[in-house]
Chain A
Amino acid sequence: MASHGIKDQVAIIGMGCTQFKEHWDRSTDDLLIDAVTDTLASAGVEKDQVDAWWLGTAQSGMSGVTLAAPLKLQNKPVTRVENYCATGSEALRQACYAVASGAYDIAAAVGVEKVKDSGYQGLNAFPIPTDGTQRTLTAAGMFSLVAPAYADKYGIDPNELRRTLARIASKNHSNGAKNERAQFRREMSVDSICAMPAVAGMLSVFDCAGVADGAAAAIVVRAADAYKYTDKPIFVKALAMVAGNGSGLADPEFDYTHFDECEAAGKDAYAQAGITNPRTELAMAEVHDCFTPTELVLMEDLGFSARGEAWKDVEAGAFDLHGDLPINTDGGLKSFGHPVGASGLRMLFECWLQLRHEAPEERQIDTADRGLALTHNLGGYPGDMVSFVGIWGNRLG
């Protein structure tokens, strides 16, 4: 009954990613064209060679026409997918399965989001008609519930936890500063982050993901064909996905210190990939640091730290760029920015660079030869979310 996985059946042979920033001068169409053009060049294939396309966008367009029209695709299947903030990973997952099924030789996954045309700061969901009883809290507010709950459960002084969370943001800013595609490229000290005014619970704006426009894409082929295109393909080791049933919102047992959906997706992915000790087997991980407390508890949900220990590992520098398991080496959502539909593919883009030893020297990790990287992409709120975990490797087996 569990997922069988498609380990080593398909591979990524080309990727592209635009700068993530306030692209006032770039439309959704422009971002798609730029990302796809770079990706096709990276893979060395022509647009017409791609047999099928998956487009992930949360709310920058509807239907496959959103991609087919700007690219002027000729009679190709294009599917638009949406799965909250895990939309980019969902597009990638569909493309991988399509190739693994044998239906297509070459598939493309593209993610895009044009968030800065709304006129408002932050992300704003498309309103679906409801009975008007839904909560009105921001995502920052919902995730801010995690910090006091975590501090209370593990007996941590809230001020100490405040510094731990700032350390996560500071690390991601430091990594982003070394990334020319990142939205924020300024280093931020723990002290300066702690000095910012709170906007939601104990969180300040520096605990929140950057909101940016951007696009990223990947070309997927059968693993057997991969070396025809590149001598450094990245193989799919695992694709896991859980859509939560929302019971965390209604169940008094849920304590806001963990995300069941992420833990379950992680376990499934490790089983598919044959990983038993992710902390030592993985070279790196890109995780969904939408807010600093999210990254903290993900370290535990994904098995990198024991329950109640992640804050100590963070303080010890375990997840720093040159720590024993580097996390969000490209700056993460925090510093790279979060164009919703593109983020999942942006995470894979960093794994693509790092596992191929193509990251800029100042942020190339020491652990790349472990050969395995993880991407984690979630959408929704504590107790009510979707979670994706993918594992990627630079060699077969």
Chain B
Amino acid sequence: MRGIISAAGYLPHWRLQRDAITQVLGSSAGKGQRSVASYDEDSLTMAVDAGRRALGAAASANPAALWFCTTSPTYAEKTNATIAHAALRLGSEVIAADAGSGLRGPAAALRSALHSTDPAVLVLTGDVRTGPAGSVDEKDGGDAGAAVLVGAASADSGVAVIAEYMGGASATREFLDRWRSPGEARTRSWEDRFGEQRYGDLAAQAWEAGLKDAGLQLDQLDKVALVGPRPRASAALAKKLGAAGVEVIDSLASSVGFTGAAHPLLMLTSLIEQSQPGQVIALLAMADGADVFFFRVTDQISGESGTAAGVTVADQLDDADNTLLYSKYLAWRGVLPVQPPNRPEPARMSAAAAERRLDWKYGFVGSKDHESGALHLPPARVSFEGGNIDDMEPAPMADVAATVATFTVDSLAYSPSPPVVFAVCDFAGGGRLPVELTDVRPADVTIGMTVEMTFRRLNTADEIANYFWKARPVRGQGTAPVRGQGRAREQLEKTEQD
């Protein structure tokens, strides 16, 4: 049985109300809100956050490949996926590559993963949807990351799937609907009606072929997610599904926005999270063609939490800061150039120094002295307690919560979005790091608050994106599960119920 082993979405902490755009620009930007990546997030960091959750929910599965999809890559020429590979601490034998730069990448990567003979394949997606002020991408777009771990169930290795793949199909035909040159902010488009009709035809073609491939009749379906940049393109199909009693789930248009290359897997995750064991579900992704995937949800999906990865998409809809200023949004995205602080800009990182400390910089792995147990962040060769030399073991700390021992707010330090909020963080079980906080308002920081680590882009110098970790407040259920902890928590809950 092959299918989805785990799936996770990542929504950034910030929301921009569309009213806020309307108030500034005059013309209506519509109702609801969109998700906004913080100034220190990008397609890769959000994909990594989602990937940590997906892997955390599937302790025994080891991906042989990582495919990364986005339309807002950090790099051309250089592969982006290898950065996620390092942050997720995957083995050097695991291939990591970018699955194209267009909106169809995630459907292609998912199809490839489902048809692969690899025991497990991790598909990561992330996108930051930006355009000129007042553009469709700004108003109707959103920022997110999503990850699915695809593979084969195996009793030997203890790997199970939460959704079994039943079949699918694709339809492709070249037509010009929406386009953007590399490096450009603005997406251009042909007349709406043209794209809507072409997508409608392709969706119908793929849908019928997919049903046949999966051996399904329409009335056997329970829930469907329809995904694409043109919401009206699937209206006819949605009507047909509705008539047959099939639920078309919320597209997140009013709460998150269309998150580009992240959206198909974000919606697939949401779809699985809303489903019950035994239900048949479908994802239809329309992007320069149409791709449909049919799954049957298994009893591996917990009836209690309704999720495989601890934090659901729905959890994150509520757990957000809804008060982001439009001006701040514009500044974060570089649409509104603002005066930077009058401080020297950061120097570029050294590629060689970064590679020497790969596990620290990307994986947040410190070291632990065997004799004294003293934890060293960053890793050290000589222990500050006892002085032993080269008697340390790696100490992975990315999934360990910490407490704020003391903190400060620095308005003088260079930051892409001042002020810098900075805290001395003491990790549960030992270890301390003075480190920047993120996704927090200065007035909300307190001594003793619990924080967790998150992979962020600190700055960019000489076109080099400098990634490292920051701490963010643990809010509600927003705890990234430790790899394997998702299952451990389920076990714990079961035990408590017993």
Contacts and interface: CB of A to CB of B under 8 A. Distances in A.
Nearest to A148: B406
Given A133-B468, A137-B420, A247-B384, A144 B410 contact: yes
Contacts of B468: 132-133
Contacts of A132: 348-350, 353-354, 361, 458, 466-468
A294 to B, nearest CB: 14
A121 B412 CA distance: 10
A141 interface: yes
Contacts of B133: none
B354 A252 contact: no
Interface in A340-396: 383
A147 B255 CA distance: 42
Nearest to B414: A136
Given A130-B353, A133-B360, A137-B420, 20 more contacts: A120-B342, A122-B412, A124-B344, A129-B347, A131-B356, A135-B434, A136-B346, A136-B420, A137-B408, A137-B410, A137-B413, A141-B408, A142-B408, A145-B406, A145-B407, A198-B411, A199-B410, A250-B380, A250-B384, A254-B432
B353 A120 contact: no
Interface of A: 118, 120-122, 124, 127, 129-133, 135-138, 140-142, 144-145, 148-149, 152, 198-201, 245-247, 249-252, 254, 256, 383
A148 B378 contact: no
A149 B405 CA distance: 9
B431 A133 contact: no
Given A133-B361, A250-B376, A251-B384, A200 B458 contact: no
Contacts of A124: 343-344
A382 to B, nearest CB: 9
Interface in B124-142: none
B194 to A, nearest CB: 46
B412 A141 contact: yes
Given A141-B422, A251-B432, A200 B410 contact: yes
B217 to A, nearest CB: 56
A145 B408 contact: yes
Contact of A136 (B348, B349, B458, B467): B458
A300 B13 CA distance: 44
B409 A201 contact: yes
A138 B422 CA distance: 11
Given A245-B384, A252-B426, A130 B413 contact: no
B335 interface: no
B358 to A, nearest CB: 9
B75 to A, nearest CB: 16
B447 A152 contact: yes
Contacts of B384: 245-247, 250-251
A141 B418 CA distance: 13
Interface in B382-420: 384-385, 405-415, 420
B28 to A, nearest CB: 39
B377 interface: yes
A254 B350 CA distance: 31
Main secondary structure, interface of B, reads mixed
A141 B353 CA distance: 26
Given A136-B346, A140-B410, A200-B411, A249 B432 contact: yes
B83 interface: no
Interface of B: 342-344, 346-350, 352-354, 356-357, 360-361, 374-378, 380, 384-385, 405-415, 420, 422, 424, 426, 430-436, 447, 458-459, 466-468
Contacts of B408: 137, 141-142, 144-145, 148, 200-201
Nearest to B423: A145
Contact of A129 (B353, B377, B412): B353
Nearest to B343: A120
A252 B350 contact: no
A138 B411 CA distance: 9
B388 to A, nearest CB: 14
Nearest to B410: A141
Contacts of B354: 131-132
Nearest to B344: A124
B350 A131 contact: yes
A131 B357 contact: yes
A332 B350 CA distance: 38
A250 B377 CA distance: 6
Given A120-B342, A136-B346, A250-B432, A131 B353 contact: yes
Most buried by B among A124, A132, A140, A256: A132
A149 B406 contact: yes
B116 to A, nearest CB: 34
Contacts of A122: 343, 412
Nearest 9 A/B pairs, CB to CB: A132-B349, A141-B410, A247-B384, A127-B347, A129-B350, A201-B408, A132-B466, A131-B353, A131-B354
A280 to B, nearest CB: 34
A218 B253 CA distance: 73
B436 A136 contact: yes
B165 to A, nearest CB: 40
Contacts of A142: 408, 434
Contacts of B424: 145, 256
Nearest to A127: B347
A199 B420 contact: no
B155 to A, nearest CB: 42
A234 to B, nearest CB: 38
Contacts of B467: 132
B412 A256 contact: no
A120 B458 contact: no
A247 B433 CA distance: 11
Nearest to B376: A250
Nearest to B357: A131
16 contacts: A120-B344, A124-B344, A130-B349, A131-B354, A132-B361, A135-B434, A136-B415, A137-B434, A140-B410, A141-B422, A149-B406, A152-B447, A247-B385, A249-B433, A252-B431, A252-B432
Nearest to A147: B408
Nearest to A125: B344
A161 B252 CA distance: 50
A247 B360 CA distance: 17
